[in-house]
Amino acid sequence: MFWKPNPSSGIPIYLQLVDQVKHAIETGALRPDEQLPGIRKVAGDLVVNVNTVAKAYRELEHEGVIELRQGFGAFVAGNSAESGAQRKFLRALPAMRTAVNRIAQLGLDEQQMRRLFETELTRLRKGSQHD
Amino acid sequence: MIEEPIIITRKLRKAYGRRVAVDGLDLEVPSGSICGLLGRNGSGKTTALKMLMGITRPDSGEGRVFGQRINNNQESLAIRARTGFLPEDKLVPGGMTVGELIRFTRAFYPLWRNDLEEHFLRLFHLPPSMTGASLSKGARCQLSLVLALSRGAELLVLDEPTSGLDPAMSEQVLRSLVTLAGEGQTTVLFSSHQISEVEQIADRVCMISRGRAVLSEEMDELANTYQQVRIVFDGKPPVSEFDNAREEGRTLSMLVRGDVEEVVARGRAMHALSVDVAPATLKDIFLTETSEAVE
């Protein structure tokens, strides 16, 4: 489920894991109230220190993203802010998919599509009235 | 209650003739941790590990493993009974076969882990009937690892455990170390030339340079202790005002240990055009702290 963290990136490994768990929740790989893989399993799979994974899980619990249930394991929080974010993400997905498909049909390549998207984001940010 | 470190040394010293290999080494390895030992070639790493194992005697200073003195014959024997040691030279007796050597070694260690022995034999594809003399260099390294890791020892002292192994095998060895330490009964002290390996699995890192520990810290603390700072000036940069700063055109780059805010403030006070602070990688720290540039 998780990519191997980059130990030399300058970003502490535990923070990379925190981000990965949050992303897993956003994409639906993990759902509210679903159990996370055990700390030792994650450590063994990713080949990182058990304490590093433990630290990531503690941080996630501190942020309210997961719950540590004594004797049972770690679970995605039922009504976490992340599950709200996940719902929005999933709701937006169809609209994005339609747009991407239509633009692709016009024959634009990936770079052009990205530039188009950035242009629109900027427009949104600036609150410009011009299309 | 804080447990005593499994390994603790104070001012260990060892010279070979006029060459001082270890020059006042202070080392501490907490129980249950994975501690990575980094150092350049000739920095004294191997001599230090050999002193811990009683293979070589310190000239002065003291060291204890499991509370036992490393320079006392009887206590050193007790240390070795509880430790899985992987020496730098992964030599194996030429005349015995793989199988014979494993059976021979296993007899000395009542806590031998058959599951680990099987796991590694399978992983490394070591043919039990092959003699030590006919093994390739890589295979010798692998066999040495099997012998050290299957011991069921409370402490593993490994001198470059992944040297001679391909990346896939290295990863499997690191995984075993993570799992063993994670089970809670094993402490690991390993030296490596692969900085990324230490970054990946160690709780604690110790850097040796010229026989001395120049750094001994928890991995998590390093990010707070060390930062890379880059300051751009309008004209010629005041390089003498900053410790260990490299000058390139109008830019000064330096690794800062400790109070980075002070350095930032000083840069601004000297009318720097920009001050950038970034996390330092273990490689940055290693290259700076173990540099042997003559001043």
Assess if residue A6 is contained within a domain.
Answer: no
For residue range B243-253, what is the model confidence (pLDDT) as tens digits? 889 999 999 99
Q: Give the gyration radius of chain B's Cα atoms.
A: 22
What six digits make up the tokens of A67? 């719950």
- Mutate which: A3, A8, A13, A58, vs B, most B CBs within 10 A: A8
**Residue A21 sits in the same domain as residue A70:** yes
- Structural domain spans, chain B: 7-210, 223-289
> What does pLDDT average to over chain B?
93
Percent of chain B topping pLDDT 90? 87
Assess if residue A2 is contained within a domain.
Answer: no
pLDDT at A82: 56
Task: Supply the ipTM of this predicted assembly.
Answer: 0.86
B173 shares contact with chain A (CB less than 8 Å)? no
pLDDT at A122: 87
Cα distance between residue A30 and residue A114, in whole Å: 28
Assess if residue A3 is contained within a domain.
Answer: no
* Interface contact flag, A49 B181, Cβ < 8 Å: yes
Mean pLDDT of B233-244: 92
For residue range B42-87, what is the model confidence (pLDDT) as tens digits? 999 999 999 999 999 999 999 999 999 999 999 999 999 999 999 9
**Residue A70 sits in the same domain as residue A41:** yes
Cβ pair B61, B21 in contact under 8 A = no
State the first-to-last Cα distance of chain A, in angstroms, to the nearest integer. 41
**Residue A18 sits in the same domain as residue A64:** yes
On the question of pLDDT at B168 being above 90, the answer is yes
* Interface contact flag, B200 A47, Cβ < 8 Å: yes
Mean pLDDT of B130-140: 91
User: Nearest chain B Cα to A14, which residue?
Assistant: B220
**Residue A89 sits in the same domain as residue A121:** yes
Helical H segments across chain B, by residue range: 45-52, 73-81, 98-106, 114-124, 137-149, 167-182, 195-201, 219-225, 260-269, 282-289
Assess if residue A38 is contained within a domain.
Answer: yes
* Interface contact flag, B201 A11, Cβ < 8 Å: no
**Residue A58 sits in the same domain as residue A85:** no
User: Nearest chain B Cα to A6, which residue?
Assistant: B200
Strand B246-248 with B212-218, pairing: unpaired
Among A55, A76, A97, residue at a domain's last position: A76
On the question of pLDDT at B114 being above 70, the answer is yes
User: Nearest chain A Cα to B179, which residue?
Assistant: A44
Query: Which CATH fold would you assign to the domain B7-210?
Result: Rossmann fold (3.40.50)
**Residue A123 sits in the same domain as residue A93:** yes
What torsion, rounded to 10 degrees, do the Cα atoms B114, B120, B126, B127 define? 30
The packing angle between helices B98-106 and B137-149, to 10°, is: 20
On the question of pLDDT at B293 being above 80, the answer is no
By C-alpha distance, which of A36, A53, A32 is closest to A1?
A36
What is the CA B67 to chain-centroid distance, rounded? 21
**Residue A25 sits in the same domain as residue A69:** yes
**Residue A91 sits in the same domain as residue A115:** yes
Assess if residue A54 is contained within a domain.
Answer: yes
B185 shares contact with chain A (CB less than 8 Å)? no
Q: Which amino acid is at B276?
A: D
A43 shares contact with chain B (CB less than 8 Å)? yes
On the question of pLDDT at B294 being above 50, the answer is no
Q: How many independent structural domains does chain A possess?
A: 2
pLDDT at B39: 94
The ranges of chain A with pLDDT < 50 are 131
pLDDT at B173: 95
pLDDT at B2: 64
Q: Which residues of B touch A40 (CB under 8 A)?
A: 179, 182
Structural domain for A59, as ranges: 13-76
**Residue A94 sits in the same domain as residue A70:** no
Cβ pair B160, B191 in contact under 8 A = yes
Q: Give the gyration radius of chain A's Cα atoms.
A: 19
**Residue A22 sits in the same domain as residue A43:** yes
Question: What is the DSSP code (8-state) at residue A4?
Answer: P
**Residue A49 sits in the same domain as residue A96:** no
CATH code (residue A39): 1.10.10.10
Non-local (6+) Cβ contacts of B155 within 8 A are: B6, B7, B65, B66, B82, B83, B84, B186, B187, B188, B189
The packing angle between helices A13-27 and A50-62, to 10°, is: 60
